[in-house]
Amino acid sequence: MKFSNLFNKEIKGLLTRQVIVSMIVTMFLFIMLGQILGGAMSGISESAMGSKISIANLDGSAFTADILARMEDDGSSLNMVTLPENINPESYAAELENLGIKSLIIIPEGFGDSVINDGENGEITVVSEMSVGGMFTNLDSLSAADAVDTINTASKDEILLKKYGVSDEILAKLEAGAATVDYTTLDGKIAKINPSALSMVMMFQMMIAPIAVFFLLTMASQMIMTAISTEKIDKTLETLLSTPVSRLSVLMSKMTAAVVAALLNVVTMGIGMIFYVGGIAGGVASGIMGSADLSAIEGQVSSADFSAVSDAVASVPQALAALGVTLSIPEYLLFGLQLILSLAIGLAAALLLGAMATDAKSQASLMLPVTMASMLPFFVTLFADVNAMPVMFKFIMYAIPFTNAYMAIPNLMSGNLLIFWVGAAYQAVFLAGTLYAAVKMFMSDKLFTASFGENTKKKSLFAKK
Amino acid sequence: MNVLEVSGLSKKYPKKDVFAADDVTFEVGEGEIYALIGPNGAGKTTTIRMLATLISPTKGDAYMDGFALTKKPDEFRKRVTYLPDEAGAYKTLTGIGYLEFMGSLFAKDKAELEGFVRQGEAISGLGDKLRDKIGGYSRGMIRKLLLARAVMTSPKLAIMDEATSGLDVINALEIRKMIKDLSVNNKMSFLLSSHNMLEIEYLADRVGLITAGKITAQGTVKELKERYNSDNLEEVFVKAVSESEVL
């Protein structure tokens, strides 16, 4: 009964009307942001199309050469590459690496002839490399998609076709444009899938987890800090701790209430985030596809030529599995472990710092280290791949315990299990130290004697001896 | 019969050269009002905080019903309530909600809790205002609520640091009368700390004068007046403090 009363008191104190209203407002704010950013992302995706386009022209026809020349005249910067003879799709990943490029358009042999003589557009193959690093690391493939559009437009161009004496009958047959066979590579693996479709799903996966981690961390930490420091500032803590309840009960009730309130906050925010990310994904899709039918993303294109990889175009889940970017249930549990470790570290650190607050101002200052330690790796991992950083930066980033939670999914997906487990062990040690210090402080006189503020120089735990 | 026996209670804070409370020894009888008086920083609050089990003594001990403060702090805490100076209450709760919450931490069952709350309601004198949120209370109302909370569980010993601080004259008189009634009629013991010598003179059965962490004099108000050849407690205070500073 005592615990439930303590818990009820804490939860009522934390979930005030203002807090609930702010949760809902934040949720709608993200929904709106998703819509606005959807438009902005279209612009980003379009701008990505301006980069250099690598093309392997296996067709020696003058028609294809004309198309490429027209692309260059229109301002496209082309990087013409040569592929080994009889290359098969399984070697595409290695070839991209050899050539040092992230995407490649392969115009097949006989492309020009089939257009001009048979009125068949044929197939253009697009190979794109993806990564599981940061949010915007996969936009390179957009320029390739744009280039294919340009080739398609040119291959249907009446003036160009008339130059080669194409009859009206054949012209009419060419309306559909060339079919595209898409391959996506990742860490040497390959799947027959449009990279844009995959990118959207991965972006969703890559973003939603770190955002949930970030908000859960900062909110729970803020709440536990408020719960402790407010008791000190409002001078209710002495009264509470002089009652016949153990300090550990008080502590546990505060931590549990903070986690529950933070989880509720994350759930409401999660709903907003789904719309937010959906908005961005939709924006990217519209940027790539224009008015093209989205069903083509998943592709219904047959590909007899490349049956070595797969006869059918992979669905997104199949492709994710082929590329090794899905998490199994045990891996999700491992991510959960990281999340719990990080959350516990955040709570313990906030508890330790909150116990030193003497007023609202010092409370805000004391919250800053936890906020910064959550925010820095959040933004870094959102936009960049920590594992690809120079060793020193990588070491610094992983020394911030929360980085391990943000990197948990990419590490698990990429099979970086050593980094994951070393990180988890480091987290556990860090947690043990922080929790020990926090509980020791809460159980000791320091709860009433330690302070951060006016007398920092004299009393702060950080003061030099 | 003594409710509280304090024996050589001392506290030295880390990085401080002197003891904040030094060999403090006194006892409080059943239904007795014992007052600790002394200048700011003399060690009153440190002594009180140790007895409220908030901070641990460096040496010495205190006993209630045979339970030692240092060995059985949980048992000790069950017999004591504490009202800190300038204490606050949870602003998001109503007055009655606060009494219920605090009472629940002492009560063994629902019936006992209801008894505590009824007692608290009556003692606070706040009437219908108990249904309002504490956030809208005046300082005086909060103090009354906190006082009611401190005595509603009928503790063996109620420790009160500046019991009437923030109250106007009429409210302060009511509170003093309430404390006196509880000690006489309910045999509740009180350990008070105050800078208001008039209040102490009116309330206290015995007074302990603490300076530089040590109890330098104790006795009834009458005894102290005679010892220091003074007309009132304020004069006693001034003379006793001057004497200890000379020493």
Q: pLDDT tens for residues A73-118?
A: 887 788 888 888 778 888 888 888 888 888 888 888 888 888 887 7
Six-digit token string for B72: 């059985």
Name the amino acid, one letter, at A356: M
Residue showing tokens 């020349």: A69
Residue A244 forms contact with B (CB below 8 Å):
yes
Query: How distant is the alpha carbon of residue A286 from its chain centre?
Result: 20
Rounded Cα–Cα distance for residues B23 and B3 (Å): 19
pLDDT of residue B224: 92
- Greater confidence (B21 vs A16) lies with B21
> Going by C-beta distance under 8 Å and a sequence separation of 6 or more, which residues neighbour residue A102?
A96, A128, A129, A140, A141
Q: Is it the case that residue A457 has pLDDT exceeding 70? A: no
Q: In chain B, what are the domain boundaries? A: 1-79+157-166+188-247
pLDDT of residue A214: 87
Which residues in chain A are contacts of B105 at CB distance < 8 A? 2, 5-6, 243-245
Q: pLDDT tens for residues B187-222?
A: 999 999 988 898 999 999 999 999 989 999 999 999
The confidence band for A456, taking pLDDT boundaries of 50, 70 and 90, is very low
The confidence band for A273, taking pLDDT boundaries of 50, 70 and 90, is low
Query: How distant is the alpha carbon of residue B218 from its chain centre?
Result: 17
Mean pLDDT of all residues belonging to chain B: 91
B155: nearest Cα among B79, B83, B66, B99: B79
Mean pLDDT of all residues belonging to chain A: 76
Which residues 282-311 on chain A approach chain B with CB closer than 8 angstroms?
Answer: none
Contact yes or no for A350/A431 (Cβ under 8 A) = no
Rounded Cα–Cα distance for residues A383 and B227 (Å): 79
- Greater confidence (A141 vs A164) lies with A164
Rounded Cα–Cα distance for residues A187 and A93 (Å): 8
Q: Is it the case that residue A294 has pLDDT exceeding 80? A: no
Contact yes or no for A354/A229 (Cβ under 8 A) = yes
The confidence band for A204, taking pLDDT boundaries of 50, 70 and 90, is low
Rounded Cα–Cα distance for residues A243 and B32 (Å): 22
Question: If DSSP codes are grouped into helix, strand and coil, which group holds residue B212?
Answer: coil
Q: Which of A86-90, B43-47, B225-229 has the lowest mean pLDDT?
A: A86-90
Six-digit token string for A259: 């986690």
Which residues in chain B are contacts of A246 at CB distance < 8 A? 74
pLDDT of residue A302: 35
Rounded Cα–Cα distance for residues A196 and A128 (Å): 10
Contact yes or no for B233/B207 (Cβ under 8 A) = yes
Rounded Cα–Cα distance for residues B230 and B232 (Å): 6
Residue showing tokens 């229109």: A74
Q: Is it the case that residue B59 has pLDDT exceeding 90? A: yes
Angle between helix A17-47 and helix A247-289 axes, rounded to 10 deg: 30
**Mean pLDDT to the nearest integer, A56-83:** 85
- Report how many Cβ contacts below 8 Å link chain A to chain B: 72
A407: nearest Cα among A430, A392, A389: A389
Residue showing tokens 């060690």: B43
**Mean pLDDT to the nearest integer, A426-444:** 91
Q: What is the CATH number of domain A41-200?
A: 3.40.1710.10
pLDDT of residue B157: 95
Nearest CA-CA distance, residue B148 and chain A, Å: 13
Contact yes or no for A123/A179 (Cβ under 8 A) = yes
Q: Is it the case that residue A293 has pLDDT exceeding 70? A: no
Nearest CA-CA distance, residue A267 and chain B, Å: 25
* CATH code 3.40.50.300 for B1-79+157-166+188-247: yes
**Mean pLDDT to the nearest integer, B42-69:** 93
Distances (CA, A) of B108 to A109, B1, B215, B245: 89, 26, 37, 49
Q: Is it the case that residue A353 has pLDDT exceeding 50? A: yes
Q: Is it the case that residue A419 has pLDDT exceeding 70? A: yes
Query: φ, ψ for residue A225 (rounded to 5)?
Result: -65, -45
Q: Is it the case that residue B170 has pLDDT exceeding 70? A: yes
Rounded Cα–Cα distance for residues A50 and A44 (Å): 11
Q: pLDDT tens for residues A378-408?
A: 877 776 778 877 788 888 889 989 999 988 8
**Mean pLDDT to the nearest integer, A151-157:** 78
Rounded Cα–Cα distance for residues B39 and B19 (Å): 15
**Mean pLDDT to the nearest integer, A31-51:** 54
To the question of pTM greater than 0.90 for the whole model, the response is: no
pLDDT of residue B25: 95
**Mean pLDDT to the nearest integer, A224-243:** 88
Contact yes or no for A225/A355 (Cβ under 8 A) = no
The DSSP letter of residue A314 is P
% residues pLDDT > 90 (chain B): 65
pLDDT of residue B218: 92
**Mean pLDDT to the nearest integer, B124-131:** 92
Which residues in chain A are contacts of B86 at CB distance < 8 A? 235
Using the CB atoms, write b or e for A433-460: b if 16+ within 10 Å.
ebbebbbebbeebbbeebbbbeebeebe
Q: Where are the alpha helices (DSSP H) in B186-232?
A: 197-203, 221-227
CB contact under 8 A, B104 and A2: yes
A interface mutation test: which of B67, B75, B90 has the most A CBs within 10 A?
B90
**Mean pLDDT to the nearest integer, B19-37:** 93
Rounded Cα–Cα distance for residues A422 and A426 (Å): 6
Which residues in chain B are contacts of A2 at CB distance < 8 A? 104-105
Six-digit token string for B68: 């030692």
Q: What is the CA radius of gyration of chain B?
A: 18
Which residues 27-86 on chain B approach chain A with CB closer than 8 angstroms?
Answer: 49, 52-56, 74, 77-78, 80-84, 86
Judged by phi (left if over 0) then psi (alpha if -120 to 50, else beta), residue A165 lies in: left
The DSSP letter of residue A306 is G
**Mean pLDDT to the nearest integer, B26-42:** 93
The confidence band for A330, taking pLDDT boundaries of 50, 70 and 90, is confident
Q: Is it the case that residue B139 has pLDDT exceeding 70? A: yes
- The residues of chain A that CATH labels 3.40.1710.10 are 41-200
